[in-house]
Structure 1
Amino acid sequence: MRVYLIAGELSGDLLGAGLMRALKARHPEAEFRGIGGPRMIAEGLESLYPLETLSVMGLVEVLRHLPGLVKARRHLRHDALAWRPDVMVGIDAPDFNLGLERQLREAGVPTVHYVSPSVWAWRQGRIKGIARAVDAMLTFLPFEASFYRQHRVPVAFVGHPLADELPLVNDRAAARAALELPTETPVLAILPGSRGNEIRFMGPTFLAAAERLLATVDGLELVIPAASPERRRELEALLAAHPGLQARTRLLDGRSREAMVASDAVLLTSGTAALEAMLCHRPMVVAYRMAPTTHWLARRLVRTTWISLPNLIARETLVPELIQEAATPTAIGEHLRPWLCEPASRAALEQRFATLHAGLQRGASERAAEAVLAVAERRPLPEAPAALPGETS
């Protein structure tokens, strides 16, 4: 069996390596070729380009690299057709992969795309191009699969690898001991983001909210993971303007997952961190600000009731989302206080998150391999449950 794989960044390399292991368990003789990183290469991929070839962010950077990307895609198309794979799998990187998938599918190669772009939220017209490009879309989340079914695109919901990685039972006391945090007092984890502009937009607001909470929540302790040395320096500068917070704050180098498990509640910006907090079973408040022009455009382009993954997965408002002008220190504090001071409310949401976690913990790599083999062998895709435990329609 021959599988052509194209991954565009480190997260895709991780997904690709898991998929390759699951495919080899079924077909030990399988051959792999395309683009991948060290994990995929270790599993036996013959990588024709460095993984970083497709890791281009930002409009200016993409334009500067566009000639090289076009040349690489042309070369990969010719190489794949000469190699004659049984199936081609594009892992994320939709701007690059969907075009290659369409070209190969038109030439008779079955194609799969692993990780749905956010077509359900914005630029929904892309669904027509996706339908022409793929024989199957593999999604992490059930609401994504429902969207593709509505548009008659073959889809398999495979679950989320992060849900497989994180345990269904976690130990708050052990996490606190590892971080040298008090056992009994309330703990708030603050994750202001991994990018400099997120720290700039949200850092002062998050710290002002924490300062208000310190005045009303007895014994409150704060833990703030810094995503990088640069983010740590930025956070240290912000904390210097809040001397009352410094004695009650533990600033960490990374270790965001431990910080969330150790906490009673989490304050964060939207993104994968919200999903990770849900999979750590911790109540949260999602707050986000962006440049006014960006927000103006987003309000006109994005078509979704919610922006945070816990709410999107549950299809209801489980956690507060405070966006732009609504993301004030006062509002953030008012929404966090119940999670910090009302154990019964906190426990109820933690149980709901554990139920949603169980529904996403499905063995994503194995299910993805089943779907890829079905496409390669031109069989129907494996069926998935209509809804997850705890998910509302």
Structure 2
Amino acid sequence: MRWIFFVAIYLFFNIYAYQALRTITKSNWITVGYILLSLGILGYFLYQWTQPNPQGGFNGGRGYSLGFVLAFMAANLITAIFMLGEDVVRLIFAAYEKLTAPSTSFSLPSRRTFLSQIALGIAAIPFASLLYGMYQGKYNYKVLKYTLFFEDLPSSFDGYRITQISDIHSGSFDNQKKIEYAINLINEQESDSVLFTGDLVNNLATEMDPWTSTFSKIKSKDGVYSILGNHDYGDYVAWENDKAKHANLEDLKNIHSKMGWDLLLNEHRFIEKNGERIAFVGVENWGSGGFKKKGDLNKAGNGLKPEDFKVLLSHDPSYWQEKIKNDPNNYQLTLSGHTHGMQFGIEIPGWFKWSPVQYRYENWAGIYEEFGRYINVNRGFGYLAYPGRVGIWPEISVIELKRGSRPS
């Protein structure tokens, strides 16, 4: 029934939006082309989503079929809204004519060509944007740099630089050269440490087989530290048994080790300089709603004192709102990811930032501060489901820690 419902909705918007095209031109060739395009996109989507999918998720053709449907549906939805508005006006005019001249036959006024042109012109924007996001936007890496000030930062760490990446989702990648470019971009920052905040894969540890050697190239003076995200536990794919699921997770943990990454599982590590130190604290995934809750802040911070300077890795930013920002152990800086900025939105740096994901997460992209404590929500390195990004580009965060008060 759900497939029948989806096809019915898809065809309804396609047929209704087609009225705008038909108003502009009567060409049979354009009609045939539109029908073939519409049915081709629908057929490709249905084919991909009715095939066996042992890996689960939106890998390969599934993702692209979803992207094409989203682009086409977005364009048709916008066009249909214009057509619906015009039809309401046409109906009102026809009813008025009938009331004022009862002897006349009831007939709707003709559609206006200029309104159909406007509708199609506006609809072309999301259509082109979503296609651009699939082929260019998803690898449009941005290095975003922040400087944060802390009164209690040890003086030896004044100017300490951290590069943060998050949400790699390696099972979605399809361009080796673009990923190698991004790895080089990470290393070019020459940060003191690199911190990865979860979701190495979509579902399976084997997704990293083509990429382990590539990500092993990430280097920094004080090493690479990592945590698990909700997708790393294999919860979104059907397993033969619990043993297979557990083995997948163990394999994924071993991959972190093979790459030279220090995986923090509700634990912490110290970085020492000149007799002073800061702590990198890593919690397992904890997310509000139905997401896995394995994060244990108390366990991860066991033995730390409130006066110790701490950088906390927590995949889901909802944990910061729920517990971290108010925790008496004083976590000065938290690094998160998870939201991807929904891979869609509008950002004008320093002026405007919007994405639909903000209605789900209070902290969804960039730096936030409460009670003198900070969180950076990285927009993500990779992509999931829709195989692209529009307006919310893949991010490499570089955070410089400075001792002292923030300049006014």
Q: What is the TM-score normalised by the length of structure 2? A: 0.28
- Bigger radius of gyration, 1 or 2? 2
Question: Relative contact order: is structure 1 or structure 2 higher (C-alpha 8 Å, sep ≥ 6)?
Answer: 2
Greater fraction helix: 1
Q: What is the TM-score normalised by the length of structure 1? A: 0.29
